[in-house]
């Protein structure tokens, strides 16, 4: 595979004030079900996502990481609290508006890739524009070209997902998430189904997107290696954030998680 | 293995409801046709007419032809259901294979489903058919004063029962062909793959289909030519029609998708249309079966209409006698429409249930689309476009075939006296097109509602 990082990413056209958060949740709670069977997945979370940074959300299985990500992305309504994208309140928005917001200002990468099997790689990457019903501008075409080359997919553009390896599928999914240059890219365990070599590729890509192009990324993971790509790590436990630090090497993150778990 | 199969059957019961309904409708249709033959023959006999054999022969032919067609449509529809239900079990099947079940054993479990659906449908259909017959006989006796009574013959039960079992077992066998080839390794893979014929099978099918179709066309042509000389052309043309439609059905997984792609290209380039076309083309086998079930109904309606109109025109223009013949033919056409309506209802149920099941299968994909920005409205439109594409392609192919058959049929009989062009009344065309579009739109309502209700968060939850 050609080194995906050999070409620089183009600079972001307009960089908003770096100080204001790209997304934010305030006193967020989320309860599934009610009565005896109620599950309190989030019990009061405050978190501001910094622009152009990778924020890793860690924690044991069931600690509420995915729920936090889904609520931040407007995929699940919160039980109480506020969710903001930039300075726009998305809590209580109707489905149509939220859907448009996701389409234009958010990107998603899932653990199981979730490419559409009926579309080839290039069509999958163009999907956000198809959904928006807007044509693909010459500028964007050039951007897609760059993404394809940088992600090592240039000769795979017309392959169906089934004909691609897991790592390749995930790179297509990342291209699909980056193609609209979203305000925030949400990734839930993006390396969870990949071998270590493919994981490394994916993490390098996310690093490059944030470092060179200023992409804001929320990365949910329980893997210290994945979290080591982040500029900041928050740890969740039982629906609340219990730790928040600048991250570091995989070893140091693993150690800090272990210590916390032992306490 | 057996207990696994029974548990799976229980879980799929809801998905089989439409298939059982289809079997019930066709079984009831069989009972009605058979009982009509009995009652009519008895009435003719008691009137002292010695046309009993002729009546039996005529009604018997009608029964065989229209029941046969309804059965073909039902088998297409039901095989689709089975193959979709089995596709949902791919992971389980792969696990079974992993722990040592053979492909043959897997296939045998499909018999259980086939028998269950066939038996349920047949019993319901027989009961319904008998009740409707009783009511109709009572109604006719009361209104005409004729002394008709219900006649029980064993065929009333045996024909629908055995026929249903044979048809559903055949359909479940056809539907299970794909999954019995599932390799143990697929336990680890996702199950959202479309059904594609292997390259060689596809080539074999398209060649067989085209050869049969061409041979059929040859006979249709010959029948027309012979018909110009003597009114026996139908004897040659009829097998030509059967061969050519068999060719279309066999070759359909290869021949139908390009037509779908072509029609899709004529639609406005919206996300809903584009995704609908991609979905249909992703599973050519399923799409072909659904389209063909529509094609058969449209072909029949068109064929009889065209032939009927040509007969009316011929008697008017050539024989100079008009209205009596015209009203007789009109009456016959009404009867044919009524008989064909059973196949049409079966196709409609098939379209609706295929769409519903495909939504069930694609929950995750639809969730992904919703997460990426497909609005609920676009979701409903996507299903509408899928449904309309199937119906429109079905109508186009059916109109072409039906017009051809009607034209050949009429001329192979009448050609020696009056050779005419095919006549397609505009009213029929309008009713057919409007009816088909309405039927397509209606079939997409429930699946569209279900699809648009899928939460985008589904995409992020692990399966
Ligand atoms: N849709 C849901 N319905 C009910 N409970 C849910 C749902 N989604 C998540 N949960 C529960 O919420 C808790 C947090 O889950 P999740 O956010 O998926 O954790 P994580 O991603 O950290 O593993 C778990 O106890 C989980 O069972
Ligand atoms: Mg999770």
Range of the domain at A103: 51-70+95-259
Give the nearest chain A residue to B278 (CA atoms). Answer: A118
Q: Is the pLDDT of residue A4 over 50?
A: no
The model's pLDDT over A139-191, given as tens digits with 9 standing for 90+, comes to 999 999 999 998 889 999 999 999 999 999 999 999 999 999 999 999 999 99
Q: Of B21-35, B297-311, B318-332, give the lowest mean pLDDT range.
A: B318-332
- Ligand 1 centre distance from Cα of residue B124 (Å): 44
The pLDDT value given to residue A5: 45
DSSP per-residue letters across A173-215: HHHHHHTT--SEEEEESTTTTS-HHHHHHHHHHHHHHHHHH--
Q: Are B47 and B144 in contact (CB under 8 A)?
A: no
Ligand number nearest CA of A192 is 2
Confidence of residue A41 (pLDDT cuts 50, 70, 90): very high
Nearest to B457 among A75, A162, A176 (CB): A75
Stronger pLDDT, A6 or B124, i.e. the higher one: B124
A95, B192: Cβ pair inside 8 Å? no
Q: Is the pLDDT of residue B191 over 60?
A: no
The set of protein residues with a Cβ atom below 6 angstroms from ligand 1 is A 32-33, 39, 41, 59, 61-67
Q: Are A207 and A174 in contact (CB under 8 A)?
A: no
| Within a domain: A9 | no
The residues pairing with A26 across neighbouring beta strands, listed in sequence order, are: A82
List CB contacts (< 8 A) between A123 and chain B: 278
Q: Is the pLDDT of residue A3 over 50?
A: no
- Ligand 2 centre distance from Cα of residue A218 (Å): 13
pTM score, whole prediction: 0.86
The pLDDT value given to residue A11: 47
Determine what percent of chain B is predicted with pLDDT higher than 90.
50
Closest C-alpha residue for ligand 1 atom 21: A66
Distance between CA atoms of B5 and B86, rounded to whole angstroms?
11
Q: State CA B431 to chain mean position distance.
A: 20
| Within a domain: A195 | yes
Q: Is the pLDDT of residue B454 over 80?
A: yes
The model's pLDDT over B426-450, given as tens digits with 9 standing for 90+, comes to 999 999 999 999 999 999 999 999 9
Stronger pLDDT, A246 or B12, i.e. the higher one: A246
3-state class (DSSP) for residue B401? helix
Confidence of residue A60 (pLDDT cuts 50, 70, 90): very high
A118, B370: Cβ pair inside 8 Å? no
Mean of pLDDT values over B2-31: 88
- Min CA distance, B239 vs chain A (Å)? 39
| Within a domain: A41 | no
List CB contacts (< 8 A) between B463 and chain A: 112
Q: What is the CATH number of the domain that holds A230?
A: 3.40.50.300
Determine what percent of chain A is predicted with pLDDT higher than 70.
92
What stretches of chain A show up as alpha helix (H) in DSSP? 65-72, 95-105, 121-132, 138-150, 166-178, 196-213, 224-227, 250-262
The model's pLDDT over A82-127, given as tens digits with 9 standing for 90+, comes to 999 999 999 989 999 999 999 999 999 999 899 999 999 999 999 9
A103, B368: Cβ pair inside 8 Å? no
The residues pairing with A55 across neighbouring beta strands, listed in sequence order, are: A218, A232
Q: Of A34-48, A207-221, B44-58, B216-230, give the lowest mean pLDDT range.
A: B44-58
Q: Which candidate in B261, B373, B380, B386 is best for mutational testing of the A interface (most A CBs within 10 A)?
A: B373
B365, A100: Cβ pair inside 8 Å? no
- Min CA distance, B207 vs chain A (Å)? 26
Mean of pLDDT values over B105-122: 89
Q: Is the pLDDT of residue A17 over 60?
A: no
Per DSSP bridges, beta strands A23-32 and A39-49 are: antiparallel
Residues with Cβ within 8 Å of B383's Cβ and at least 6 positions away in sequence, in order, are B276, B355, B359, B444, B447, B448, B451
Distance between CA atoms of A77 and B350, rounded to whole angstroms?
37
Mean of pLDDT values over B291-308: 93
| Within a domain: A39 | no
Q: Are B446 and B352 in contact (CB under 8 A)?
A: yes
The model's pLDDT over B322-354, given as tens digits with 9 standing for 90+, comes to 677 788 888 888 998 999 888 889 988 989 988
* Encoded tokens for B212: 């049969």
| Within a domain: A243 | yes
Across chain B, mean pLDDT equals 88
- Ligand 2 centre distance from Cα of residue A65 (Å): 6
Q: Considering only CA atoms, which of B342, B431, B380 is closest in space to residue B21?
A: B342
Integer Rg of chain B from CA: 24
Nearest to A130 among B190, B271, B371 (CB): B271
- Ligand 1 centre distance from Cα of residue A25 (Å): 18
Q: Considering only CA atoms, which of A106, A76, A70 is closest in space to residue A88?
A: A106
How far separated are the first and last CA of chain A, in Å rounded?
Answer: 44
Q: Considering only CA atoms, which of A51, A46, A22 is closest in space to residue A234?
A: A46
How many CB atoms sit inside 10 A of residue A84's CB? 19
* Encoded tokens for B96: 């079974």
H/E stretch holding A106: strand A106-109
| Within a domain: A117 | yes
The pLDDT value given to residue A225: 96
The pLDDT value given to residue B144: 85
The pLDDT value given to residue A66: 94
- Ligand 2 centre distance from Cα of residue A116 (Å): 21
Domain count, chain A: 1
Identify the burial level of A192 via C-beta atoms within 10 angstroms of its C-beta, where 0-12 means exposed, 13-18 middle and 19 or more buried: middle
Q: Is the pLDDT of residue B318 over 50?
A: yes
| Within a domain: A253 | yes
List CB contacts (< 8 A) between B368 and chain A: 110, 114, 116
Per DSSP bridges, beta strands A240-245 and A232-237 are: antiparallel
Per DSSP bridges, beta strands A184-188 and A106-109 are: parallel
Across chain A, mean pLDDT equals 90
| Within a domain: A189 | yes
Confidence of residue A16 (pLDDT cuts 50, 70, 90): low
Q: Which residues of A86-107 are buried (b: 16+ CB within 10 A; e: fewer)?
A: beeebbebeeeebbebbbbbbb
The pLDDT value given to residue A140: 92
For residue B436, give Cα distances in angstroms to A237, B309, B382, B395, B399.
Answer: 57, 21, 18, 7, 12
Residues with Cβ within 8 Å of B85's Cβ and at least 6 positions away in sequence, in order, are B12, B15, B16, B113, B175, B357
Q: Are B344 and B70 in contact (CB under 8 A)?
A: no
Q: Is the pLDDT of residue B121 over 70?
A: yes
Q: State CA B153 to chain mean position distance.
A: 29
């Amino acid at each position: 595979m050609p080194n995906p990082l050999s070409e620089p990413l183009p600079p972001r056209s307009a960089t908003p004030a770096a100080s204001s958060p790209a997304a934010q949740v305030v006193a967020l709670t989320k309860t599934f079900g009610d009565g005896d069977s109620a599950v309190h997945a989030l019990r009061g979370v405050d978190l501001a996502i910094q622009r152009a940074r990778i924020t890793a959300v860690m924690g044991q299985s069931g600690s509420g990481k995915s729920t936090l990500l889904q609520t931040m992305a407007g995929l699940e309504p919160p039980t109480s609290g506020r969710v903001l994208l930039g300075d726009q309140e998305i809590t209580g928005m109707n489905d149509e508006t939220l859907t448009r917001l996701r389409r234009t200002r958010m990107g998603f990468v899932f653990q199981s890739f979730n490419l559409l099997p009926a579309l080839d790689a290039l069509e999958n990457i163009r999907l956000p524009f198809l959904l928006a019903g807007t044509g693909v501008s010459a500028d964007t075409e050039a951007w897609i070209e760059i993404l394809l080359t940088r992600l090592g997919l240039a000769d795979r553009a017309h392959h169906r997902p089934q004909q691609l390896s897991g790592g390749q599928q995930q790179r297509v999914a990342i291209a699909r998430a980056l193609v609209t240059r979203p305000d925030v890219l949400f990734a839930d365990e993006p390396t969870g189904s990949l071998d270590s070599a493919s994981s490394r590729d994916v993490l390098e890509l996310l690093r490059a997107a944030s470092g060179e192009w200023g992409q804001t990324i929320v990365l949910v993971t329980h893997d210290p290696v994945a979290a080591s790509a982040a500029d900041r790590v928050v740890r969740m436990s039982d629906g609340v954030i219990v730790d928040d630090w600048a991250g570091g090497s995989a070893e140091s993150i693993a150690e800090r998680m272990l210590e916390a778990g032992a306490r | 293995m057996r207990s696994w199969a029974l548990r799976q059957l229980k879980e799929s019961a809801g998905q089989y409801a439409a298939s059982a309904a289809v079997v019930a409708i066709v079984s009831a249709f069989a009972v009605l046709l058979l009982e009509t033959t009995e009652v009519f023959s008895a009435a003719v006999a008691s009137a002292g007419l010695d046309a009993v054999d002729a009546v039996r022969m005529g009604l018997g032919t009608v029964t065989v032809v229209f029941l046969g067609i309804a059965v073909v449509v039902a088998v297409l529809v039901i095989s689709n259901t089975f193959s979709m239900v089995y596709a949902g079990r791919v992971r389980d099947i792969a696990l079974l294979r992993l722990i040592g079940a053979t492909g043959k054993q897997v296939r045998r479990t499909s018999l259980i489903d086939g028998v269950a659906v066939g038996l349920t449908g047949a019993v319901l259909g027989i009961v319904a058919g008998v009740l409707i017959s009783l009511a109709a006989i009572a109604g006719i006796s009361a209104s005409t004063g004729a002394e008709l009574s219900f006649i029980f013959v064993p065929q009333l039960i045996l024909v629908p029962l055995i026929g249903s079992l044979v048809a559903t077992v055949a359909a479940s066998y056809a539907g299970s062909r794909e999954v019995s080839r599932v390799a143990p390794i697929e336990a680890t893979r996702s199950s959202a793959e479309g059904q594609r014929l292997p390259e060689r099978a596809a080539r074999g099918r398209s060649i067989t289909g085209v050869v049969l179709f061409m041979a059929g066309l040859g006979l249709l042509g010959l029948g027309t030519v012979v018909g110009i000389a003597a009114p026996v052309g139908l004897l040659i043309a009829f097998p030509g029609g059967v061969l050519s439609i068999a060719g279309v059905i066999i070759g359909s997984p290869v021949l139908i998708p390009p037509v779908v792609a072509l029609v899709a290209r004529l639609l406005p380039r919206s996300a809903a249309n584009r995704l609908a076309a991609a979905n249909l083309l992703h599973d050519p086998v399923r799409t072909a079966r659904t389209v063909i079930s529509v094609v058969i109904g449209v072909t029949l309606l068109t064929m009889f209409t065209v032939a009927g109109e040509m007969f009316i025109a011929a008697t008017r223009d050539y024989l100079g006698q008009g209205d009596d013949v015209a009203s007789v033919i009109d009456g016959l056409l009404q009867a044919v429409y009524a008989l064909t309506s059973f196949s049409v209802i079966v196709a409609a149920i098939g379209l609706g249930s295929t769409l519903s099941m495909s939504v069930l299968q694609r929950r995750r994909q639809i969730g992904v689309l919703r997460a990426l920005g497909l609005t609920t409205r676009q979701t409903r439109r996507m299903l509408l476009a899928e449904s309309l594409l199937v119906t429109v392609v079905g109508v186009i192919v059916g109109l072409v075939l039906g017009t051809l058959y009607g034209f050949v049929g009429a001329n192979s009989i009448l050609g020696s006296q009056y050779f005419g062009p095919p006549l397609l009344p505009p009213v029929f065309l309008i009713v057919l097109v409007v009816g088909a579009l309405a039927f397509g739109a209606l079939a997409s309502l429930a699946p569209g509602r279900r699809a648009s209700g899928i939460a985008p968060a589904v995409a992020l939850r692990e399966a």
